[in-house]
Amino acid sequence: MEYYRYDNHKLRMGGSHPLLGSLELKNQITSPYFMRLPMFDVDHAETDPDSGISMRRLVANDFSSMPECGIPAFMAWVANLSEKHSETAMVRTNDTKQERRMELTLLRVPQKETIMRKNISLNHAKTQTYPIGKADMDKQKNIILSQHGRVGFGHMGNNNVLVIGGIGKSREIIQPNLLQAFGSYVILDRDGEYFNRNASFFRKKYYQVRVLNLSDIEHSNQYNPLHYVRDEEDASLLVQCIFNCASAKRKQTADLFWEKAERAILEALILYVVQCRPKEDQNFATVLKLLNDAKTDEQGLEALDKLFGEAKDAAKEDSFTARYRVFKQESERTALSVLIMAAVRLAVFAREDIQTLTKDDQMEIEMMSVEDTATFLIPSANDDDTMLINMIYTQMMARLYKYAAEINCFPLPRQVRFVMDDFASLGVLPRFQMKLPTMHKYGLSVMLCVNSLAQIKTLYPEDWEIIVGNCMTFAYLGAAETEVHREIVRLISKATIVSRNTTKSIVDEVRPFRLFCDLLQILRNLLNMGKVRRMKPGKVICMITGYQPLYDDCYDISAHPNYPLLGSEKDPAKP
């Protein structure tokens, strides 16, 4: 029988124990007495090769000599141990006449490199990863933030991530999370780099790969926005995308009159085409043709009057006739001007290649919520084409919301992650700030990547705080914007430091001098704006709501298990 004492966070005893002598326990018994425990023998010992966790099961075949006060204290120690840091313990006892046996299983997670600056630590990274408390943090259900920082899906209020940085966002944040291959992805790919590198990787992972390539339409899947218009709300949302992406931003009060008239006729024509025309004609080319025919017809608006009148007489749904009546309230001359302006907004659909692209639909938005899908959105250098990217993002979110309600599944069977590199290039997404707080309910999440906070403020001057506030995770890779530096200093908060002030005074010849030492507690910022501005490349500051901030190295993508499966940037993949 041996005697053990728990003191100074270590298990101490009279001699060196072959098993427990070197095991550091991250707690201690509050009672400072010696507790008698039986000698434990090794029954089982192994190390999990995946997680790196060492497990030892120690068995005591006789604990009858333990004092009665020792057993409750020992069990309290075990319960406390289970809640502390990286060790967990489980005890199973069998105290019968036939057998007196106690088993203690100790699970010890290996020490990881700790990066700490005052109270900036990575302690939260372990407890918030999936699986909880495991050392292996590259599992699929983790969002990779840095070399040691992870956030497990479902552990926070939402899975939205805001990334601010001038360079490094692609390789150090976006690409590692694509390699996780968890759920479906919708990736804004400015230059086609993500598609070239990841298309073959996703196919190896049995993903459905689709691409909307506006810079090379011949190698693009087709996308028909009218295919996803089911009701008046969908038509209104689509028209809102058209106006948000208009090159001429009209702010004068007089222009609101024209804008309302344009909206009315566009929504009326879209609903008419969707509800009354055959499937092969349900596209924007037909809408543009109707507009052009009406504005060039010698009979003026009589052709449109006849068109909508016949549709109503045929007992079709007349949701579009109400909007046409709003349009008809104007004089004929004014109405013709409105038709011309509406046709100008749809000028991009006059191009033959865009008409071919939008003639049919191959995107299958609903299916990305039930099977693993990677969708790449590649815009062109033409700013007018941005309208289609804006439309598909808006329709994806709206359609997935409705699809979840149709199948009564919350969240959807597959996580859908919208990766928006260069988020500012999308323009204003209709109702985006309203959907962001509720996305987690439907299994949706976004990763917003911008060069500066000012880009979000410019697009959403009244709602930018809603967007930033609904991203529970924030990663900063370095930027030149002073306001971002100031915001990071504020979020990281302050720490108390001890200042030592020593004063030497001359007294007399007998006592030449006297020393005075003052210790002062001072509250100061952990980081100042100068240090944030001078942050070196390869470093990242991660902030997760409710946890201490983390200052860490950027993730080494070459260490990811799926990195060898990536394709080459020099070998473009085909859809």
Task: Retrieve residue 189's tokens.
Answer: 């790919």
Tokens of 370: 């039930």
Q: What is the pLDDT of residue 355?
A: 96
Tell me the CA distances in angstroms from 293 to 321, 458, 563, one per residue in order. 19, 38, 55
Could you say which of 79, 108, 137 is where a domain stops? 108
How far is the C-alpha of 211 from the C-alpha of 203, rounded, in Å? Answer: 13
Domain shared by 331 and 461, yes or no: no
* Residue at 404: amino acid letter: A
Scanning 317-385, the segments in alpha helix (DSSP H) are 319-328, 332-345, 352-357
Strands 416-420 and 184-188, sheet pairing: parallel
Q: Does some domain include residue 153?
A: no
Does the pLDDT of residue 152 top 80, yes or no? yes
Same domain membership, residue 404 and residue 473: yes
Least confident of 88-97, 218-227, 486-495: 88-97
Alpha-carbon gap, residue 349 to 523, rounded angstroms: 61
505 burial level (CB within 10 Å; 0-12, 13-18, 19+)? exposed
Domain membership flag for residue 575 = no
Residue 516's pLDDT is what? 62
Checking if the pLDDT of 400 tops 90, the result is: yes
- Closest to 239 measured CA to CA, from 269, 281, 267, 273: 267
Residue found by looking up tokens 């759920």 in the block: 183
Quote the tokens at residue 30.
């509050």
Pair (499, 466) in one structural domain: no
- Position 164 pLDDT exceeds 80: yes
Q: Is the torsion defined by CA of 199, 51, 143, 480 positive or negative?
A: negative
Domain co-membership, 212 together with 233: no
Q: Same domain, yes or no, for 180 and 247?
A: no
Q: Residue 103: pLDDT above 80?
A: no
Q: What percent of the chain has pLDDT over 70?
A: 66
373-378 and 184-188: which strand pairing?
parallel
Instruction: Tell whether 346 and 232 lie within a shared domain.
Output: yes
- The segment with the largest mean pLDDT, out of 48-62, 129-143, 212-226, is 212-226
**Is residue 472 domain-resident?**
yes
Split at pLDDT 50, 70, 90, the class of 314 is low
Mean pLDDT of 166-192: 94
Alpha-carbon torsion, ordered 353, 573, 378, 287, to 10 deg? 30
The reply to whether 280 and 339 lie within a common domain is: yes
How many of the other CB atoms lie within 10 Å of CB of 564?
8
Rounded CA-CA distance 434/392 in Å is: 17
Which domain, by its residues, includes 299? 225-355
Q: Does pLDDT of 160 surpass 90?
A: yes
8 A C-beta contact, residue 538 and residue 509: no
427 and 324 together in one domain = no
Instruction: Quote the CA–CA distance of 360 and 157 in Å, as a whole number.
Output: 38
The encoded tokens of residue 60 equal: 């005591």
Kindly give the interhelix angle for 232-244 and 253-276, rounded to the nearest 10 degrees.
130
pLDDT band at 96 (very low <50, low <70, confident <90, very high): very low
Reported as a pLDDT band with limits 50, 70 and 90, residue 311 is: low
Residue 572 lies in a domain: no
Residue carrying structure tokens 């250098």: 381
In the numeric block, which tokens belong to residue 409?
A: 């599944």
Distances (CA, A) of 269 to 234, 235, 326, 331, 416: 13, 10, 13, 19, 32
In this prediction, residue 104 carries a pLDDT of: 44
pLDDT at 19 (0 to 100):
35
* CA proximity to 215, closest of 96, 383, 65: 383
Instruction: Give the residue, 477 or 104, on which the prediction is more confident.
Output: 477
pLDDT tens across 417-472, in order? 999 999 999 999 999 999 999 999 999 999 999 999 999 999 999 999 999 999 99
**Final residue belonging to a domain, choices 295, 325, 355:** 355
We report the CATH number of the domain holding residue 437 as 3.40.50.300
Provide the pLDDT for residue 238: 96
- Report DSSP state, residue 453: H
Please give the Cα distance from 548 to 19 (Å, whole number).
35
pLDDT at 165 over 90: yes
Which token pair is 396?
Answer: 């994806």
Instruction: Please tell me the distance from the alpha carbon of residue 303 to that of residue 139, in angstroms, as a whole number.
Output: 62
Query: 536 and 407 in one domain?
Result: yes
- Residue 363 · residue 375 · CB < 8 Å: yes
The alpha carbon dihedral of 392, 262, 252, 248 has a sign of positive
Work out how many domains the chain is built from and give that number: 4
In a domain, 141, yes or no: no
Is residue 540 within 8 A of residue 176, CB to CB? The reply is no
Judging by beta carbons within 10 Å of its beta carbon (0-12, 13-18, 19+), is residue 174 exposed, middle or buried? buried
- 446 in any annotated domain: yes
pLDDT of residue 199: 96
Q: Are 341 and 380 in contact (CB under 8 A)?
A: no
Which whole number is the average pLDDT over 292-299?
Answer: 73
Same-domain pairing of 429 and 539:
yes
pLDDT digits (tens, 9 = 90+) for 470-488: 999 999 999 888 889 998 8
In a domain, 371, yes or no: yes
Is 149 within a domain? no
**Residue scoring higher pLDDT (174 or 134):** 174
Q: Which of 355, 380, 409 is the last residue of a domain?
A: 355
Q: What is the DSSP string of 544-564?
A: ETTS--EEEEPP-GGGSTTGG
**Is the pLDDT confidence value at 507 over 60?**
no
Mean pLDDT, the chain, integer = 76
Q: Are residues 419 and 403 in the same domain?
A: yes
Contacts within 8 Å (CB) and 24+ apart, 25-30:
25/81, 25/87, 26/81, 26/84, 26/85, 26/86, 26/87, 27/77, 27/80, 27/81, 27/84, 29/73, 29/76, 29/77
Burial grade of 77 (CB within 10 A; 0-12, 13-18, 19 or more):
buried
Ranking 67-81, 281-295, 515-529 by mean pLDDT, the lowest is: 67-81
Pairing of strands 473-478, 161-165: parallel
Are 471 and 504 found together in one domain?
A: no
* Three-class secondary structure of residue 90 per DSSP: strand
Going by pLDDT thresholds of 50, 70 and 90, the confidence category of residue 384 is confident
Asked if residues 443 and 411 have their Cβ atoms less than 8 Å apart, the reply is yes
Stretch 502-526: mean pLDDT = 64
Q: What is the pLDDT of residues 42-88, one digit of tens each?
A: 344 444 444 443 444 444 444 444 444 444 555 555 445 444 433 33
Report the range of poorest mean pLDDT among 173-182, 324-333, 437-446, 489-498. 489-498
